[in-house]
Amino acid sequence: MNVVCATDDNFIQHCCIMLVSLLSNNKDVNIFILTEGLIPENQRIIEEEVTEKGGRVRFCKVEGSLIDSLPLSKAEGLNHISKATYYRILIADILPKDVEKVLYLDCDIVVDASLEALWQIDMTGKAIAASPQLGSGYNCERLGYPIEDGYFNAGVTMMNLAYCRENHITEEMVDYAVRNRDKLLFNDQDILNGVLHDRSIHILPQWNMTSACYVIDLDKRGDKRKGVVINDYAAAKKNIHERRMSPCIIHYVSKPKPWSENCVHPLYHLYYKYAKKTLHYNHLEPQDEKKRQRAVRKNIFRNILSAIKQRFYKTDPTRM
């Protein structure tokens, strides 16, 4: 299995915990780290964590000038995102040509199961496999493609590099980013969707259980156009209900993250479960549970108020 992630010096802790969770549940893994350069100490930490768990790691230097022309989102809540997010669209050109398929993982992820079934997905004739974001069809319209194709989350993506190289997908994505810079809100995720929406496979949410899968009104999420439901995501919702407390991959998309105060994610403790398995971060302790539960109650109350509000004011584009 070939796995790719991207990090800088500010995200080493989370990158290591993600990799240790991956290697605790999967064997024979080649790991490629995309970076513009890490300080020697941080590179050594990653090498020690991966080697201790039986993995193999290679660091791939990314030339920053390749992405300097690409825009970063100024949307509220996304100002923490660095240009490292764009490394993903360059993978086919950066990795060795004999690497024909990879699994890309964001670093705000915990892997809690074998990924062999995901790795074995048939990618013939497709560039990417990713899990759809329920009710995000309005992003399709913003980016100018059919809402029927849906909009996927790019934090977990299987990438057919052989297909991408043969069809010059990297050049197509860079060109799309430059031409559509005023439309982009979610950086490389928008680019991947805008270019590959009709060359993608939608996988079940158990492979990328994002924070949005834990909303209280999940069954009301979907895509509408002119009052007609286009995508109801029935299979995805069924999978979420079955696997929301036992997903293969947990993706801590929203703030606060597990390493921040007042994290309300129901599976936030898994971050600390795998921190304990690391060499360098096994001293980390979860936040005070009483304090966290207060934040959880406040969050539930806010969500209930929001759901009530939506019955009268249709301001949420994700609701059917």
Distance between CA atoms of residues 276 and 83, nearest Å: 30
Assign 123 a pLDDT band (cuts: 50, 70, 90). Answer: very high
Q: Quick one: pLDDT at residue 80?
A: 46
Kindly calculate the radius of gyration of the chain based on its CA atoms and give it in whole angstroms: 19
Q: What is the 3-state secondary structure (H, E, C) of the chain?
A: CEEEEECCHHHHHHHHHHHHHHHHHCCCCEEEEEECCCCHHHHHHHHHHHHHCCCEEEEEECCHHHCCCCCCCCCCCCCCCCHHHHHHHHHHHHCCCCCCEEEEECCCEEECCCCHHHHCCCCCCCCEEEEECCCCHHHHHHHCCCHHHCCEEEEEEEEEHHHHHHCCHHHHHHHHHHHCCCCCCCHHHHHHHHHHCCCEEECCHHHCEEHHHHCCCHHHECEEECCEEEECCHHHHHHHHHHCCCCCEEECCCCCCCCCCCCCCCCCHHHHHHHCCCCCCCCCCCCCHHHHHHHHHHHHHHHHHHHHHHCCCCCCCCEC
Instruction: Tell me the Ramachandran region of residue 310: left when phi exceeds 0, alpha when psi lies from -120 to 50, beta otherwise.
Output: alpha
Q: What percent of the chain has pLDDT over 90?
A: 67
Q: Quick one: pLDDT at residue 77?
A: 47
Q: Quick one: pLDDT at residue 299?
A: 79
Q: Name the CA dihedral angle for 295, 300, 305, 310, rounded to a multiple of 10 degrees.
A: 130
* 256 preceded by a cis bond (ω within 30 of 0): yes
Q: Quick one: pLDDT at residue 291?
A: 82
Given a cut of 90, is residue 161 above it in pLDDT?
Answer: yes
Given a cut of 50, is residue 289 above it in pLDDT?
Answer: yes
Phi, psi for 161 (deg, rounded to 5): -70, -35
pLDDT tens for 74-122 read 544 444 455 666 788 899 999 999 999 999 999 999 999 999 999 999 9
* 208 vs 221: which has the higher pLDDT: 208
Q: Quick one: pLDDT at residue 297?
A: 86
Q: What is the mean pLDDT of the chain?
A: 90
What value does the mean pLDDT take over residues 234-248?
97
* Paired residues of 103 in beta bridges: 3, 158
Assign 233 a pLDDT band (cuts: 50, 70, 90). Answer: very high
pLDDT tens for 63-74 read 766 666 665 555
Which of the residue ranges 76-80, 104-108, 173-177, 214-218 would you say has the lowest mean pLDDT?
76-80
Given a cut of 80, is residue 269 above it in pLDDT?
Answer: yes
Residue-range domain boundaries for the chain: 2-310
Given a cut of 80, is residue 318 above it in pLDDT?
Answer: no
Distance between CA atoms of residues 145 and 266, nearest Å: 34
Q: Quick one: pLDDT at residue 252?
A: 96
Q: Quick one: pLDDT at residue 224?
A: 87
Residue identified by tokens 């105060």 is: 261
In angstroms, what CA-CA distances link 272 with 19, 232, 287?
Answer: 13, 35, 10
Given a cut of 60, is residue 42 above it in pLDDT?
Answer: yes
Q: pTM for the whole thing? A: 0.90
Given a cut of 80, is residue 28 above it in pLDDT?
Answer: yes
Residue identified by tokens 């979860």 is: 286
CB 22 within 8 A of CB 110: no
Q: Quick one: pLDDT at residue 68?
A: 64
CB 21 within 8 A of CB 274: yes
- In total, the chain counts a number of residues equal to 320
Instruction: Give me the CATH code for the 2-310 domain, please.
Output: 3.90.550.10
